[in-house]
Amino acid sequence: MKKRSLFLGGALSALGIGGLGYYITNAFLYLPKKDEKLVREREVNALRLIQDEFDALPKEEVSIPSPYGYDLNAIFVTPHPHKKYMIFAHGVTENKLNSIKYMNLFIKKGFNAVIYDHRRHGDSGGETTSYGYYEKFDLKAVVDELIRRVGDDVFLGIHGESMGAATTLLYGGGVEDRADFYIADCPYSDFGEQLAYRMSVELNLPAKLLLPLVNRTLKWREGYSLKELSPISVIQNIQKPVLFIHSMEDDYILPKMTEELFHKKQGAKMLHLDFRGTHAQSYNEDPEKYDRVIQQFLDEVVTPEKEDAR
C-alpha cells in the first residue's frame, strides 16, 4: 500500500508539473488578440489612420499561401510606379491596421508597401502564435509573392514592430538575407529570456527553473523549441543594414535586448534608444523624430551600402 501511495503521489506530481507546462504554453500560444474594430478605432482616433486617405490609395487585397497550409491576408499598396517596396510585420495581438502609420511614413518617402496579418491574427489563418518560428517562413512567402509580382530587382526594406521585429531578424538571419535593409523596433533578442522575464514580473514564478519544462512542453506540442526563437543567435548572419529602435522607457521588452542585438550585428547598422513611451510607442510618442531617424538611416547607412554594392 505504501509503495502504491508513493507511486500515486509521484504520478499526481508529474501531472501537476505537466499541467503547469501546458498552462504556460497555452498562455502565450493563444495570447488574446485585440479586436480589429478596436484597433481601427484607436488608430482613427489618434489620426494615424485617415480612412478616406487610405481608401484613396491604389491597392489590392491578396491572399498568400503559407507553407503551413493556411492563407495570409495582405494588402499591396502601390501609389508609385517604381520598384521600391516596404513590407511591414506587426506585433503580437495587433493586425495589419497597426502597420498603416509606418506605411504612410514610407509612402511619403517614395516607397510602395505591403501590410499583412501574421498567422492567427487579423484575416490570416493559423492556429497558434509561434513568436517568429513559423512567422519567419510566412514572411518569406510574402517576400516571394512580391518578387513574383514585381521582379527580382525590387528594392526592398522590411520593418517589424515587437514580435514582428523579432520575426524580421529571424527571417534575415535564419531564412534568407533578401531585403536591402531592415528596421527592428523593440524586438526581443531571445524569446526564452523574454518569457522568463514576463513570468517573473507578472506571475512571480521562478521562471528560470520553469523554462526547461516550458521548452519540453513547447517541443512536444508545436515541434520547435525556445532556442529556435532567438534572433540574437542568427543576427550575425544578416549582412544588410539594420536600424534598431527602442524606447528606454519600455519595461515590457527591455531595451537592453535591442542593445545586445545591435552589438552582435556585424556590418552596417544604426541604434536609436532615445525615444519616449512604453512598449512599441516610439512612433506614437514622437512621429516626427521617428521619421527623422529613419531618414538618417536611409541617407547615412542604406544609400552608401547600396552604392558600394554596385
All structural domains of the chain with their residue ranges:
31-190+229-308
Contact 122, 73 (CB under 8 A): yes
- The pTM for the full model equals 0.93
Q: How far apart (Å, rounded) are the C-alpha atoms in residues 43 and 61?
A: 20
Q: What is the pLDDT along the chain (310 residues), one digit of tens a residue?
A: 334 443 333 333 444 556 888 999 999 999 999 999 999 999 999 999 999 999 999 999 999 999 999 999 999 999 999 999 999 999 999 999 999 999 999 999 999 999 999 999 999 999 999 999 999 999 999 999 999 999 999 999 999 999 999 999 999 999 999 999 999 999 999 999 999 999 888 878 777 788 999 999 999 999 999 999 999 999 999 999 999 999 999 999 999 999 999 999 999 999 999 999 999 999 999 999 999 999 999 999 999 766 555 4
* d(C-alpha 28, C-alpha 130), whole Å: 9
Phi first, then psi, for residue 76 (nearest 5°) are -95, 120
Nearest 5°: CA angle at 43, between 39 and 45? 115
User: From 3.40.50.2300, 3.40.50.1820, 3.90.25.10, 2.60.40.1180, which CATH number describes the 31-190+229-308 domain?
Assistant: 3.40.50.1820
